[in-house]
Amino acid sequence: MYDILGFGSELGDTADTEVIKKAYHKAVLLYHPDKAQYKTDSGKEDRTVFLKIQEAFNVLTDEKKRRAYDSQLPFDESIPKEEKVIEKMKAKGDGKFFKLFDPVFKRNARFAVKKPVPELGDMDTPIAVVNKFYDYWINFDSWRDFTGLGCEHNPDDAGSREEKRWMQKENKKKEEKAKKNEMVRLINLVTLAQKLDPRIAADKKSKKDAKDAIKQSKEAEAKQKADEEAAIKAWSEEKGVEAVESKAELSKAEKEKIKKAQSKVRNILRKLLRITGEQGHGSGEYGIISEKDLEILCEKGNIDDLNTLNNAMGGEPASKDSALFIMAGTAEVLKKLEEVKIEANKDEEDDKIAKEIRRREAAIKSTSNYKKVEKVWTDDDISHILTAVKLYPPASNHVERWTKISNYVSVKVSTDAVFSNDEVIKVAYKATH
């Protein structure tokens, strides 16, 4: 039918309705029966060609009829062989994939219900566009019509209604099988293309490398932490807990190591908190917290505390790639900040108390006739001691702890006295036993 309208070997989508109409009008002018060359020897009109032109026009301008007709035309259903594609890609590079598959997809696109049909693209096509291409073909809706194709029975030749229905039913089975085979063929095409597409392979490798990098980073971080904890434990067992707490006993190299570790973990925390600001969270210099709060956090939080906060927000990998940042982890930061603020306020109060104690001690030393009077502890005094015991829980350096307790009690129960550690300890012991 395309031939009789002058289209040569052009098929289906290559000619739209308007083009067909123009071809039809041209053919009518050329082959109309009243032309001399299309009359019989007796002078009668020869309508043979003209009727074929009319038939072609009626079929090709009716979408349903045209699709049924186009579906019956010869069509190359071949799909590239996997082994052949792999072999050629190895020999000539990834570009060969597109040369082999692009014509196949374009060939099958002529049966697409949904237009426009996306193109396969090339190596520079973004992976998101590539994924949309395959999504389209996975859900490809084909108008290819297999009605009557290869059917063995002609219902018009049936001798009865029952035979006609049987013939129609058998023909229907063949049509449905052909349609199913067509869908399987297209699925095989898409599956094979996805499997061999160098862009998808590159994307998978990139994601795997990123995942492996994060895993390796976490494993290295965990190993480093475990090694450090084991070393500290072995060292503390050798020299005792108080030796660990006393920086005066650390070697220069050990002090430098601790200083570097502290600097590293604090820098990671700063970078992670800057991300909260970049993402529009909070109004502080570091997003959710101010610079002042950050300094308090770095000063009061030990390495383990800061490492825990950093890991909650994605750790060192997230400080280098904000895509790995975990916003939920900032809740731990805010919680810890409240804790260290309480501790900072407590330290500030301790400093004021210590300053007052130094003033009192200086005053006592300047009084040559000062004589210490035995203190009579009242219930109110003892309640201050018990409060101080709770306020300053047991620590590795018990001398420092009881000094703070004694200073606190001295300020709370007297306006000029300074009570010794031993004195306060005795009262506290009796009050709790």
* Confidence check: pLDDT of 298 > 70: yes
pLDDT (0 to 100) of residue 346: 87
For range 334-355, the mean pLDDT? 90
The better pLDDT of the pair 178, 241 is held by 178
In the numeric block, the tokens 């927000």 are attached to 313
Give strand pairing partners of 289: 286
The answer to whether the beta carbons of residues 235 and 227 sit under 8 Å apart is no
The percent of residues above 70 in pLDDT, for the chain, comes to 87
* Confidence check: pLDDT of 12 > 60: no
Per-residue pLDDT of 347-371, as tens digits, reads 889 899 999 999 988 888 888 777 7
**75: Cα separation from own chain's centroid:** 43
* Confidence check: pLDDT of 219 > 60: yes
* Confidence check: pLDDT of 340 > 70: yes
Lowest-confidence pick of 7-16, 83-92, 200-209, 360-369: 7-16
pLDDT (0 to 100) of residue 379: 92
pLDDT (0 to 100) of residue 126: 95
pLDDT (0 to 100) of residue 6: 76
Lowest-confidence pick of 11-20, 91-100, 173-182, 408-417: 11-20
Distance CA 55, CA 219 (A): 75
For range 232-252, the mean pLDDT? 48
* Confidence check: pLDDT of 420 > 90: no
CA within 13 Å, CB half, 137: 26
* Confidence check: pLDDT of 11 > 60: no
Lowest-confidence pick of 63-72, 260-269, 302-311, 393-402: 63-72
pLDDT (0 to 100) of residue 41: 59
Lowest-confidence pick of 107-116, 334-343, 369-378: 369-378
* Confidence check: pLDDT of 273 > 50: yes
Per-residue pLDDT of 195-212, as tens digits, reads 999 999 999 999 999 999
* Confidence check: pLDDT of 286 > 70: yes
For range 120-124, the mean pLDDT? 94
* Confidence check: pLDDT of 417 > 90: no
- Residue 42's pLDDT band (boundaries 50, 70, 90)? low
The CA–CA distances, whole Å, from 325 to 41, 150, 205, 276, 332 equal 91, 61, 22, 9, 14
* Confidence check: pLDDT of 425 > 90: no
